[in-house]
Amino acid sequence: MRLFVLLYGIISYLVFLGVFSYFILFVGDILAPKTVSSGVTENQVYSMLINILLLIAWGIQHSVMARNWFKQAIRNIVPSHTERSTYVLISSIVLAFLMLAWQPMHGVIWDVDNEMGVTALWVTFGLGWVTIFAATFLTNHFDLFGLRQTWLHFVKKSYTSLHFTERLIYQWIRHPMMLGILIAIWSTGTMTMSHFVFSVGMSVYVLIGIHFEEKSLVKDLGINYEEYQLRTAKLLPKVY
């Protein structure tokens, strides 16, 4: 049983890596057979409606499953040592479905034809993804994606919460992963209508998600997190 739990954690993580790697290609409109801007639509209104519903479904799943009240509600169904891996697996499946069902839309918001400008946007695009992954390791990458929990269960050790340290970018902003997402989804030389709708929807999700995450952290950590809030900014470092 413990081996099964460990394998479940590893498989969930590998599914995440595969889906998220494709997600980078999907957002960047590169190499993948289907991207955020590929395809042709005959019904703009239908495509818009489907895409908005997909973004809402993604946002609800991603936010609701992260809340403590939801974790407590499913505790009898999903053991604590597999809760994070289950969250990672379901989030990956929902994201894969979003990409698969995403509808193309015609229209271009902007198109940068300056070679230096396009290069700068590609660099910024890459920087956004690097920021996301770097931030996961500045906290604890393996705990964040459920591997630590399943490993501790496998070796018969109790789970202990990690002590958060304000390292590097976390000394200035509280949500570098969310900042990385915003940077990545908006850094494109050709902003199609399809990409624009996707970026707006994801940005709304990020802002709403941060709001609820902050409330949850204040409730869980109390004065320590409130003091951290005073020292740092949500997304953009304070400039003095």
Q: What is the pLDDT of residues 9-18, one digit of tens each?
A: 999 999 999 9
Residue 65 has pLDDT above 90, yes or no: no
Which pair of tokens denotes residue 118?
A: 């396009």
DSSP assignment of 89-128: HHHHHHHHHHHHHPPP---EEEE---HHHHHHHHHHHHHH
Residue 164 has pLDDT above 80, yes or no: no
Residue 227 has pLDDT above 90, yes or no: no
CA distance 205 to 85: 22
The pLDDT score that the predictor gives to residue 101 is 95
Which pair of tokens denotes residue 127?
A: 């920087």
The enclosing H or E element of 83 equals helix 80-101
Residue 237 has pLDDT above 90, yes or no: no
Stretch 92-119: mean pLDDT: 94
Stretch 208-216: mean pLDDT: 87
Stretch 192-211: mean pLDDT: 93
Residue 75 has pLDDT above 80, yes or no: no
Nearest in space to 102 (alpha carbons), one of 197, 205, 17, 18: 197
Stretch 185-194: mean pLDDT: 95
Model-wide pTM > 0.85: yes
Which pair of tokens denotes residue 131?
A: 């920021």
The pLDDT score that the predictor gives to residue 200 is 96
CA distance 163 to 153: 20
pLDDT band at 239 (very low <50, low <70, confident <90, very high): low
Stretch 60-64: mean pLDDT: 87
Nearest in space to 125 (alpha carbons), one of 169, 175, 185, 204: 185
CA distance 129 to 136: 11
Residue 240 has pLDDT above 60, yes or no: no
Are residues 233 and 172 in contact, defined by beta-carbon separation less than 8 angstroms? Answer: yes
Query: Which residues on adjacent β-strands are paired with residue 190?
Result: 111
pLDDT band at 73 (very low <50, low <70, confident <90, very high): confident
Angle at Cα 131 formed by Cα 126 and Cα 133, nearest 5°?
100
What contacts 192, CB < 8 A, 6 or more positions away?
36, 37, 105, 107, 108, 109
Stretch 146-169: mean pLDDT: 84
**Which phi and psi (to 5°) does residue 189 adopt?**
-75, -30
pLDDT band at 125 (very low <50, low <70, confident <90, very high): very high
Query: Which residues on adjacent β-strands are paired with residue 233?
Result: 173
| Mean pLDDT rounded to a whole number for the chain | 90
The enclosing H or E element of 80 equals helix 80-101
Cite the beta strand spans of the chain per DSSP E.
Answer: 108-111, 190-192
The pLDDT score that the predictor gives to residue 134 is 93
- What is the separation, in whole angstroms, between the first and last Cα of the chain? 55
